[in-house]
Amino acid sequence: DANIAIPSGTYSSLDELAASCQQCHRCELAKGRTHVVVSRGNPQAKIAIVGEAPGQQEDETGLPFVGKSGQLLDKILASVELDPERDVYICNVNKCRPPGNRTPTTPEIEACKPYLLEQLRLVNPKIILLTGATAVKGTLGEKRGITKIRGQWFDWQGFLCMPIFHPAYLLRNPSRKEGSPKWLMWQDIQAVRNKLT
């Protein structure tokens, strides 16, 4: 029940949080899921990446960003020598797949938000990358669109955050020419890399 609060500090470990997510029925998305998708990567990483919600492959495997978008995300990370298993922790705003991959609704985002907050509090990354509009909506409370705010640094809950394009958007816009979404992503991921060193 989404009306039952999950205060900050409820979980003392990511395992405890994941176990709670497996039992969750705080929103309607619980009905259609095969797996609850909590995370992949390294909980000790300096970078956390927040996506939208599981798609079909993610729902089937129980792991975030393992389909086409995830494969592109891994390539983007590798292009600046970031290892997807070692250097990042990957999760989503919503832990269950929306029917037909529709965008999660505001109540669904709000129902799942305590898990995201607890997850990020326990991981305590140096940098959080917010991929696409839903990740921004689930965190910053920023009204400007992703095209306006991508590549900028924000403070959210004491975390250093950068909105970036969602990899699915890059798959629909394959051009690499100057000023294109892919070109802008390359600028952004290099800025992230430079912030680490």
- The answer to whether 92 contacts ligand URA (rule: CB under 6 A) is yes
- The answer to whether 65 contacts ligand URA (rule: CB under 6 A) is yes
Spatial separation of the C-alpha atoms in residues 127 and 195, rounded to whole Å:
9
Considering beta carbons, is residue 8 or 75 the nearer one to ligand URA?
Answer: 75
Spatial separation of the C-alpha atoms in residues 158 and 179, rounded to whole Å:
31
- The answer to whether 119 contacts ligand URA (rule: CB under 6 A) is no
Considering beta carbons, is residue 92 or 139 the nearer one to ligand URA?
Answer: 92
Q: Which run of H or of E encompasses 161?
A: strand 159-164
- Nearest-CB residue to ligand URA? 51
Residue from the set 6, 29, 41, 55 that interacts with ligand URA by CB under 6 A: 55
- Mark the segment that binds ligand URA (CB under 6 A) among 12-20, 46-54, 156-164, 187-195: 46-54
Q: How many residues bind ligand URA (CB under 6 A)?
A: 12
Residue from the set 69, 129, 161, 170 that interacts with ligand URA by CB under 6 A: 69
Inter-residue contact 97 to 32 (CB < 8 Å): yes
- The answer to whether 114 contacts ligand URA (rule: CB under 6 A) is no
- Mark the segment that binds ligand URA (CB under 6 A) among 15-23, 59-67, 74-82, 177-185: 59-67
Long-range Cβ contact pairs of 62-69 (< 8 A, separation 24 or more): 62/34, 62/35, 62/36, 62/37, 62/38, 63/37, 64/37, 64/38, 64/39, 64/40, 64/90, 64/91, 64/92, 65/40, 65/90, 65/167, 66/40, 68/168, 68/171, 69/166, 69/167, 69/168, 69/171
Residue from the set 17, 42, 59, 64 that interacts with ligand URA by CB under 6 A: 64
Spatial separation of the C-alpha atoms in residues 153 and 173, rounded to whole Å:
24
CB of 132 to ligand URA, least distance (A): 7
- The answer to whether 84 contacts ligand URA (rule: CB under 6 A) is no
Inter-residue contact 91 to 48 (CB < 8 Å): yes
Residues that bind ligand URA (CB under 6 A): 51-55, 58, 64-65, 67, 69-70, 92
